Amino acid sequence: MSIDVGKIKKDFPVLQRSINGKPLIYLDSANTSQKPASVMDAMEDYYRKFNANVHRGSYQLANEATAILEGARDKVRSFINANSRKEVVFTKNATEAMNLISNTWGRENLSSGDAIVLTELEHHANIVPWQMLAAEKGFEIRWIKIDDNGHLDLSDFDQLIDGAKLLSFAAMSNVLGTFTPVQDLTERAHELGMVVHADASQYTPHSYTDVQALGIDFLTFTGHKLLGPMGIGVLWGKESLLDSMPPFLGGGEMILNVTKEGFSTNELPWKFEAGTPMVAEAAGLDAAIDYLSNIGMNEIRNHEIELTDYALEKLASEFGETISIFGPKAANERGGVISFTFDGAHPHDISQVLDEENICIRAGHHCAKPLMQVLNVGATSRVSMYLYNDQADIDALVEGLHKVRNLFTL
């Protein structure tokens, strides 16, 4: 392995846990990642030493809490190479960030006769907000299909984007692991004056993310998938776009002034951060970024390619035609996500049998029902790996699947 997984595992308290004498093997990081002790320490440290509301107090404690929140914003700005800290908006998760885009930019710019373009790879969070707005505004939603290997079929891409105002897509699929060609799609969309959003919920935790190099207009991701806590997400947007958008929620913090006649909005990014923010979660996100950065995002990506390649080969050689693996064939074309079906066994049964071995995987539609329809399955089993997984975890998975096969007489 390209990184020292044994050393890394020791940093994660939950990975030291055993159940019924069996070690925990966690293969569900696309759902949520585990947290190193440094993240928990940072959050506890905030509550023990600095707990106060931000931006409002003139006393030292409040100033220190504000510094923690705004320091995390600076950390995110550097992590994704944003041009300005004004472009980094904290939300409670990526879903809220995408709803923010649809309810502000979308509501201002889309109407009957317009069109937006999504892909068949999308998570519900990048589908339903647009469907809700389309039902109200009457614009068209067009779909980029996928091919048999889980890649985007771009044969009719120019026709799909012709006359459309927005292209919104997952930078990496949470089901197939497919990496989409972000820069190419963005360049072609920009030639027609479109705005481009990338859902990087799976991409940013596993690959170096440079929003300026990608060329996109919006990027969204969530803290809990990159070793950080639940309850904090990020919307990055170009400053000119964010400036032009109306506020999403109303209340404290997002205002500059309020009178009986109306209000004026605060400057960026606070214009989109109504109410008391998630300061402890920001401290945890800050610590998570430090942890990932100390290892190196390129090193993490290389590790996942090695491990995914090993897992794909092992599953194919052990189970042959009785297992169907969806998505790109080559490990370097996908993230550490493998979705599959097993002849004779329902995904939920597979998950339950593996749970008896203390192996955690996901079973279901993975919040991607339109993609399940394309794949012609109701659900899949999904294995998702991260920097704390190694070949021994995959070997244990394979042994668990042999138990599944024996139980269901495959």
Active-site amino acid positions: 367
Quick one: CA dihedral 367, 336, 205, 152, positive or negative? Answer: negative
CA pair distance 2, 330, nearest whole angstrom: 18
- C-alpha closest to that of 335 among 127, 217, 176, 132: 176
Quick one: CA dihedral 328, 332, 334, 336, positive or negative? Answer: positive
189 and 167 Cβ atoms separated by less than 8 Å: yes
279 and 63 Cβ atoms separated by less than 8 Å: no
CA pair distance 88, 382, nearest whole angstrom: 32
3-state secondary structure 338-407: EEEEECCECHHHHHHHHHHCCEECEEECCCCHHHHHHHCCCCEEEEECCCCCCHHHHHHHHHHHHHHHHH
400 and 392 Cβ atoms separated by less than 8 Å: no
The two beta strands, 195-199 and 218-222, are parallel
Cα separation of the two ends of the chain: 33
232 and 68 Cβ atoms separated by less than 8 Å: no
- Please give the torsion angle defined by the CA atoms of residues 149, 152, 158 and 164, in that order, rounded to the nearest 10 degrees: 150
